[in-house]
Structure 1
């Protein structure tokens, strides 16, 4: 709501009379005072000249004072068009008449000396000359009067539009009546014949016939101007009152604003004091927090080490994988010293080719090393060689090997997955720091099932850029060989691991040693195009008398083939 809307002028008794001087009451419809005044003037003029048919005909079809003015202008234009040819003669005749009029006193004296001869003639000539002069003066005065009215009408219409009061309506109607009266006479004069105009100029000169009406028009114009000036002064006075009221309201607002500012300053002071207190408390707390943080920072590595040791202790297998690998390596070396043949090296060469393809692939893959009949020991030896080769090549490799002697713990897939988790955490302790909230000691409790251990293994392997898993579980196969399709289910566990790790854009390569003949090649290749398969057969036993003749170069050739993969 604006300031002016908040001021009710009608509520001020001292101001209502001033408002009525320049505008109608509030809520009244916007009026066309000029048109109303014209209609009222026409009604008055028609009643005043009720018996005059010329007046009715003159006003017929006119709807405003401008239409009446156009009618007169049209009659004037027609008159001027008809008199254009006689204008030079009238101009010289007018000059002649002015000359006679200049010497009129002398001629009057001659007429007095000889009245019997020249009185009648001179009187006739003087009458004619006076008529000509009056005719010219009448035309000039009519033109001046019409020009005056044309100049006055726009101002009258503007005043009537600005100040729509009853006084203004009466004044405009009165003036329109005189203007219409003048227009009617002027139109009649312009419409007369030349003879009647000349006679009218003599009998009814401008001073007698039109001057009074023109004076009335001037007087009405002055009256309208006075009304407009008075309304303007009243409006200015009203504006002054409004400005004073606004000024008073502004002073009240300034006082309220000053009060608000003082209250705000007081509140700000209290707020600043409160903030200072809060800052002091915050500084004190910050000092305490920094001290506590230092203690916590110092304790955090200790807690991590304790938690890491606790996790390793919970995951620690019955026999460490390093010890099993060390024993299996020693047994494989001792076996090669007494049992070696050309068939063994051919098998090693085939495995080396498959191993080369498996290592060089840029995607996660599964290598299935199948053990033939009575070839489990040889197959384990090859798995041990592959583990040692990958370790010497500085690859991250984690393995599962069947222990040489049966332990107290029953072999199971959960224990295999748990052992792999143990090796990853043991060799990559920083992997736990990547899961500060999702992994803690409770996630490594021994009572977890196979699916939970697999999910945990997938999570850890997915955080390694690249790693190798070697799984040889003859003991688990011997315990589960009675179950149909067990080997296929066992391979599916690691296939799920590969799929999960590959989705996280990490790289894992898994080598699984299988035993028995319950696994078909078609089922192996069905899961992925990146699976590799190699089969190891039982080597032929060389008689003791022929073993010494076997050249040592063949023994070295196998290690050279494996060393090519390292390079």
Structure 2
């Protein structure tokens, strides 16, 4: 009901405002109301004064607007003033004399009664002449005053016409212009007469008889136009008052709406803050869940840590059953260079014939040492002989193992846009694994990467170009890491008879040979002199 009542009130206000606006708003687009009124006034002059001299003077005139006609009248007045300038003193003397004689005319009237048959006739003729002179002066004054008043009325009317372009203003203005044109015609006619004609006109057609009515009509219609303008301004003021009142109502509604919104926002602030806290608390859990899915997608068939423990167990059993051997000093020296070198570096260790056990032992010792130092180290070791697990022999699988390890020990390298499980599951080719390796590992400040891949080298032994492309890949990764300011330390153990072709790849290249065989006569003696293993005695400086 309230909404229906509000709708009815709005409709009533709209109708009321439309009625008010009809009193002052223009009926159409902008129009030259003054020109239309002037044309209508000429038609009225022609209709009401058909055949008269005044109508012909107006219709045949050159003026196209009321101001043009006014200019013609003023020009005629100036011409009259210029011609009358020489007679000004005489006319002024005659006018003053006539005024004095007329002033004492009552005395002369009494004297004229003694000889009425003669004196009255002469005095009456003289009095008529004197009144004509006085009326001539009055006509000049009235014409001048009327022209000034008409000029003021026309200026005020022009402003009113421009402000309110309505039909009633146009009609009132046309009637005003009609009488103004009529007076202008009379004024032009009087100014253009000869001095004798103006004298006779002043005597026989004085101002009150011929001109006063026209001037009074001009004043009347000027006041009428002013009254209409005042009424229209009152209507416009009323419309403005309604507009301001409606704006105040809208302002109050907006203020109330804003207060309601602020109140709702204040009430929701606590809920929003609680939700924000909950979401903030959920983010680590969500991140852990996503990370677990990513690690599950990257999980290798053989766990690197299981491989390391198995290899360490084999190495320990081997050490317990054999005599100690001399440590390869050149390898230890190269390892020290690799550890101490600033930035990224690639250490290629060529494993000689029958030096595989020593290489496995050396690899496990390096990994164990780095882990004790709590340094970032990841590795990929070949599975022990006799392992039942089958692996796919490809570079992509190697990089997959390394990526899985680095995300396990330092998951912070993953950025928010990287938590896309489908992206990791969709990787198939070696090139995609290389791109992912670059993306993740170049975010590490420092990391040691150990790769002992006897199985992979055996599987590609017949592939002549495989070893060079494999090592060139890690050489490129090392160079890129150096340019980016990372410290990635690669240790790659090469196997096979073709390792001699890689001497030009890597920052450090060393050969690990089979330890020398101890003679049987010395085995028993040396067995009682076992001490710490050589790698522990000669550790590189980290």
TM-score bracket for the superposition, by shorter chain length:
0.5 to 0.7
Q: Name structure 1 gaps, 5 residues minimum.
A: 258-278, 280-288, 337-343, 444-448, 548-554
How far 1:94 sits from its partner (Å)?
2.4
| Distance in 1 (alpha carbons) for counterparts of 2:335 and 2:230 | 111
**Cα pair distance change 1:322/1:451, threshold 3 Å:** farther
How far 1:366 sits from its partner (Å)?
3.4
| Distance in 2 (alpha carbons) for counterparts of 1:429 and 1:23 | 84
Larger radius of gyration: 1
- Asked if structure 2 preserves the Cα contact closer than 8 Å seen for 1:75 and 1:190, the reply is yes
Residue matched to 2:68: 67
Residue matched to 2:340: 360
**Cα pair distance change 1:366/1:87, threshold 3 Å:** same
2:510 to 534, 541, 555: 534
| Distance in 2 (alpha carbons) for counterparts of 1:419 and 1:180 | 111
How far 1:533 sits from its partner (Å)?
1.0
Determine whether 1:42 maps to 2:45. Answer: yes
Residue matched to 2:144: 143
Q: Name structure 2 gaps, 5 residues minimum.
A: 1-6, 254-270, 272-277, 524-530
Residue matched to 2:497: 517
1:309-363 residue CA offsets vs partner (Å, 9 max, x unmatched):
x999977459712212323445675234xxxxxxx8xx61x33442233223445
**Cα pair distance change 1:434/1:390, threshold 3 Å:** closer
1:360-409 residue CA offsets vs partner (Å, 9 max, x unmatched):
34455432222456766776676677567656756566574897xx6465
Determine whether 1:334 maps to 2:314. Answer: no
SS of equivalent to 1:535: strand
| Distance in 2 (alpha carbons) for counterparts of 1:524 and 1:229 | 113
| Distance in 1 (alpha carbons) for counterparts of 2:351 and 2:185 | 136
**Cα pair distance change 1:227/1:508, threshold 3 Å:** closer
Residue matched to 1:93: 94
| Distance in 1 (alpha carbons) for counterparts of 2:109 and 2:14 | 81
- Asked if structure 2 preserves the Cα contact closer than 8 Å seen for 1:352 and 1:561, the reply is no
1:200-229 residue CA offsets vs partner (Å, 9 max, x unmatched):
33344333xxx3442254247536856986
Determine whether 1:566 maps to 2:541. Answer: yes
| Distance in 2 (alpha carbons) for counterparts of 1:415 and 1:24 | 89
How far 1:496 sits from its partner (Å)?
5.5
1:129-188 residue CA offsets vs partner (Å, 9 max, x unmatched):
34332322222233233344444445666787858558974x766655544343323222
Residue matched to 1:268: none
Residue matched to 1:320: 310
- Asked if structure 2 preserves the Cα contact closer than 8 Å seen for 1:367 and 1:532, the reply is yes
Residue matched to 2:259: none
- Asked if structure 1 preserves the Cα contact closer than 8 Å seen for 2:312 and 2:364, the reply is no
| Distance in 1 (alpha carbons) for counterparts of 2:429 and 2:109 | 154
| Distance in 1 (alpha carbons) for counterparts of 2:401 and 2:185 | 125
**Cα pair distance change 1:203/1:417, threshold 3 Å:** closer
| Distance in 1 (alpha carbons) for counterparts of 2:399 and 2:149 | 118
1:7 to 15, 18, 36: 15
**Cα pair distance change 1:330/1:369, threshold 3 Å:** farther
1:248-296 residue CA offsets vs partner (Å, 9 max, x unmatched):
xx9xx9xxx9xxxxxxxxxxxxxxxxxxxxx9xxxxxxxxx9xxx9xx9
**Cα pair distance change 1:115/1:492, threshold 3 Å:** closer
Residue matched to 1:200: 201
SS of equivalent to 2:497: coil
Determine whether 1:214 maps to 2:212. Answer: yes
How far 1:55 sits from its partner (Å)?
3.9
TM alignment of 1:395-474, pairs within 5 A: 395=375, 398=379, 400=381, 407=386, 409=388, 462=441, 466-469=447-450, 471=452, 473=454
| Distance in 2 (alpha carbons) for counterparts of 1:417 and 1:132 | 130
- Asked if structure 2 preserves the Cα contact closer than 8 Å seen for 1:31 and 1:164, the reply is no
| Distance in 1 (alpha carbons) for counterparts of 2:207 and 2:470 | 129
Residue matched to 2:85: 84
RMSD: 6.6
| Distance in 2 (alpha carbons) for counterparts of 1:414 and 1:74 | 117
TM alignment of 1:538-549, pairs within 5 A: none
How far 1:79 sits from its partner (Å)?
1.7
TM alignment of 1:220-239, pairs within 5 A: 221-222=219-220
Determine whether 1:186 maps to 2:197. Answer: no
| Distance in 1 (alpha carbons) for counterparts of 2:449 and 2:198 | 132
| Distance in 2 (alpha carbons) for counterparts of 1:58 and 1:408 | 127
How far 1:128 sits from its partner (Å)?
4.4
Residue matched to 1:484: 462
**Cα pair distance change 1:540/1:181, threshold 3 Å:** closer
